[in-house]
Each structure stands twice: as structure tokens, then as C-alpha cells.
Structure 1
Amino acid sequence: MLYRTLGRTNLIVSIIGLGGGVFNRHKDPSITLEKAKEIIEFAVSKGINFIDIGKEYDEMFISQAMRKVRKKIHVITRSEARRAEEVERDVEDSVRKLKVRPAVYELMINSIEELIMMEKNGAIDTLRKAKSNGKIGFTGIFSHKIEVLKEAIKMNVFDVVSTLYNAAHRMAESIFPLKRKYNFGFVAAAPFATGILVDPKYDESIRTPASELMTAENALKFVLSSPYVDATVIG
């Protein structure tokens, strides 16, 4: 396993992280605690040292699954909280359930309007205070909207930025020049485009013309070949 520095956090992370989607029992009720333990412990045995989850998943379930390797793994989690009191509540709840200080705590922000509102109502400042008080390691933002990320990065509050980036979705490249100035950590989500790039079950009308050449290995190589990508997440 190779490792990179996650921007200005100075955390050393594996270039591949474990995504929490595989543990989403709402989508896959068959996932058992034993299976989740097996997945996490296998990932750690192969050198993976961070897991990317969120409050939309069952943080307590995941915490139980990573009990044996909790000290070996950085946890990135996130919240859809919009107000200061909600951010404070969610941070406290995550720490209680995970039984570990999240290495990075991200806010999911979907529009410029939300970003402005959360800056004005103290939600973003509450996250910053959680970092200052040692409840979380670093602040982060996740968004599917590149225009939101551009504005958020310029606020210079968020230590880590996460968004979709793969061979079929390259919009994130427009924020890469900002990384040189602000030195935020960048985590690329969905390197396989939720399977569309590499899974033959998808209809040919959905897949790209280069699909025949796009193996999982090539999809990962594309994402990780960028000097601006610190890590990507699978699962």
C-alpha cells in the first residue's frame, strides 16, 4: 500500500480508503456484524488506514465492527446538519457512537445558498470550534457541486475536501489549482462512478465508449495518477 499526506492535516493516509457504503444496512440488510468486521480487518491487514463514513450510515454498527482495529484507522465521517446546534449535536453523537475522535468531520453542503446560510447562522463556526476544542481532528466538506466547493475552499475553513472524481466525472479538476494555494486534503469519491465504469451489468447506453478498456485497476490508476488527489475511497 502507498501512502500520501492529506494536505495541511499532515495525516498520512493510504491512497485507498474504505467507504462506508458497503456497511449500509438500509440498502443491504444482509450485512452482518461479523461480515463487517471481516471486511474492515481485512482492509487494515492490507494497509488501508482510513474509513470514510457518515451519519447516514449506522456509526454505532461500524464502530462495533472496527473495535479490534480502531487504533489503526482514521475515521472520516460527515453530517447533513444545517444549523449550529445541529452540528454540535451531531459531532457529540458521532464521538459517542464511534468511541473515537473523528480524524475529519465533514459537512455535506448542496448549494451556495446553504453555504452562505451556514456561515451566517454559525454552523460552520461550530465545526471550527469542535476542532479547536479537540472533539474532532480536522474540518471537511463534501459536496457534489463544484461551485460550492470553490467558494468553501476560499473561506479557508475546511481542511479536507471530498467530491466525486473519476474518468467519467472530471469536474473536480477545476478546483485542483486552488489546492496549490490552500493546501487542503483532497479525497476522491466514487472512482468507479458507482460501478458504471467497470461493471458489465450496466447497459451500453450508460457506459462510456472507453468502457472496454476501463478495468477497476485502470479506473484507480486514472484517479490516483493526479498529484492533486491524496486518496480515494472504495465501497
Structure 2
Amino acid sequence: MQYRILGKTGFKISEISLGTWQVGGKWGDDFSHKNADEILNKAIDEGINFIDTADVYSDGESEKAVGRIVKSRSEKIYVATKCGRKLNPHVSESYTVKALRNFVEDSLKNMGLETLDLVQLHCPPTDVFYRPEIFELFDRLKDEGKIQHLGASIEKVEEGLKAMQYSNVCSLQLIYNAFRQRPNELLFEQAKKNNIGIIARVPLASGLLTGKFSSSSSFGKNDHRNFNRNGEAFDKGETFSGVDYEKGLAAVEELKKLFPDTSLPLIALKWILKSDEISCVIPGASNINQLSQNMEASSATELTANEIASINKIYDNYIKPNVHQVW
């Protein structure tokens, strides 16, 4: 496992880390603590030392599983969680200092921890990034010892550029993959300038970049890949990175032609890790096999300049016109 620094936090974290949206089962299924424990322990055994969760993942069950395992291990494991998505309606006006404080304290209870290494605002409405009182709260929580650092999980480049203007923001979590390339422009440039850690989520475009799907693939009724393709429940960009499913499949077929003998998930992860602005990538895993496959990317051979250029050309031809300027 290779390690990188998470911006101003100074944390030395595994470049392949673990996102826990589906760690207790596939999206929308009942949470299995046995499955979660197996995946989390295996991840730590193999050198992963950064785990990302959120209070809304399986209504707190993910946080409970992460906290339980972290407390049972002797290794230093950095825990990142997120808050804000429980607000209903999920609008700027719902974001209050009191509500966010309560969420942080609930996360501490869920995980049984005295302090949280990193708390991230969980994709709040854009207007929240223009409210200094929200960001000031986390300075107080840090002074109280309840958190160590603040980050923001974002949907749009604009939100990231605004968030890093607050001196206490240390990291940005965002969608970045071969089908979502816009961050690797002004946002990455400014993040590097301001020493902001970048956590890449949805690295496989909700599984699209695994190459395992077809036009006839079906998803469970509680799976966001079934019910959120047009943003019915939350930002459309979280599902298949906002890419039209059929166009995405066509682009994937081109990737298969480029890499006929190589696992596409490995290629997708190596494409992300080529950017030194990236602190870590957080693919999820609903079983041990997925976890092991993801981790292979840290030691795999680097992509060549020609391979990267060919991947980018597929993006330009199939994806960019409909996605690039949206987020």
C-alpha cells in the first residue's frame, strides 16, 4: 500500500482507502454487521488506514460498525464521517449551528469515540458555502476536542472553490473519475495552492466503470442506480456520475477495446491516482473480493501517457458534452 498526505491535516493515509456506503451490503439492502466487520478488518489488515462513513449510511449502522472495529484494533485508523444529509427538507435554511452540532455529537455516540478525525459537510446546498457561521461552528467543536479537522463533501466545482476560502477547511471530497474530469482543472490547481486534501469518491461511476453492466442489467428497487438516474432523490451526479446510462455503456465498450486483458476497475483507479493532487480514493466494497480487487491498484503498473490520452479521448467523445460543465 502506498500512502499520501491529506492536505493540511498532515494525516498520512492509504491512497486506496475505504468508503462505507455499502459496506454492510449492497445499496438499499439490510445492513449486515457481520459483513461490515469482515470487510473493515480485512481492509485494515491490508494497510488501509482511512475509512469514510456518514451518519445517513444505513441510518447510523455504518458509523457503529466503523467505530466498533476501530476501537478493537491497535493500528491508528483515521475516521472521517459526514453530516447534514439528515436534514429534511435538505435546503440551506435547514442548516443551523444547533442541528449540525447535534449531528456531530450523535456521530460520536454512534462510533463510541471521543473525537472525530475529520467531519465533512455532506453535500449541502450551494448557498451553505456562503454562510460563515456554519464553518465557524467547527472551530468551536475543534476547541472542545470533539473534532480534529473539517472538510466538505461537494457536488460542484463552485462549492469546492468557495469552501477552501474558509481557513479551517482541510479537505474536499468529490466525484472524480474517468467519466467526471472537470475537477482536474481550476479546482485541483487551487487545492494544491491551498494545501487542501482531495478525497475522490464514486471512482467507478457507481459500477459503470467495472465493465460488468449491459443494457439488460437490473438493480434492486432500493438501489439508487434504479431510482435516482434523473436525480429523483438526490443529485443526479451521484448516480453513474451523472452519465447517461446507454452513453456510458458505449464509452465502456471503447475502454474494453483499449484494455482487453486488464481489469477495468484497476484501470479506473490508476487513472485517478495519476493525479498527485489526490490524497486518496474511496471505492466502496460490499464483499471481500471487491475490496481485494480495489486494493490491487496501489501496486499495479502505472498507466502510460498514451493510455491516459486514449482514456481522455473517450471522455471527450462520449461523456464531456453532456457532463463536463454541469458539475
The answer to which of 145-154 and 20-29 deviates more is 20-29
Q: Residue 188 of structure 1 aligns with which residue?
A: 200
Rounded to whole Å, the distance in 1 between the matches of 2:157 and 2:174 is: 8
Alignment check: 8 A CA contact 2:128 2:134 kept: no
Pick aligned residue for 2:156 from 118, 131, 145 = 145
**Any residues of structure 2 matched to 1:146-165 within 5 Å, and which?**
146-165=157-176
Rounded to whole Å, the distance in 1 between the matches of 2:205 and 2:74 is: 29
**Any residues of structure 2 matched to 1:44-193 within 5 Å, and which?**
44-57=44-57, 58=60, 59-69=63-73, 72-80=76-84, 82-100=95-113, 101-116=115-130, 118-119=131-132, 122-173=133-184, 174-193=186-205
Alignment check: 8 A CA contact 2:5 2:279 kept: yes
Answer 1 or 2: which has greater strand percent.
1
Residue 233 (1) aligns with residue 233 (2): no
The answer to which of 203-212 and 85-94 deviates more is 203-212
Rounded to whole Å, the distance in 2 between the matches of 1:53 and 1:83 is: 22
Where do 5+ consecutive residues of structure 1 fail to align?
none
Residue 36 (1) aligns with residue 6 (2): no
Secondary structure at 2:55's aligned position in 1? coil
Alignment check: 8 A CA contact 1:18 1:48 kept: yes
Alignment check: 8 A CA contact 1:15 1:230 kept: yes
Residues 201, 109 of structure 1: alpha-carbon distance in 2 compared, 3 angstrom cutoff: closer
Identity of aligned residues (%): 26
Q: Over alpha carbons, which structure has the higher Rg?
A: 2
Residues 92, 114 of structure 1: alpha-carbon distance in 2 compared, 3 angstrom cutoff: same
Alignment check: 8 A CA contact 1:37 1:66 kept: no
Alignment check: 8 A CA contact 2:24 2:36 kept: no
Residues 227, 61 of structure 1: alpha-carbon distance in 2 compared, 3 angstrom cutoff: closer
Tell me which amino acid in the other structure corresponds to 1:142.
S
Q: Residue 211 of structure 1 aligns with which residue?
A: 255
Where do 5+ consecutive residues of structure 2 fail to align?
88-94, 216-245, 285-327
Per the normalisation by structure 1, the TM-score is 0.90
| Deviation for aligned residue 1:10 | 0.5
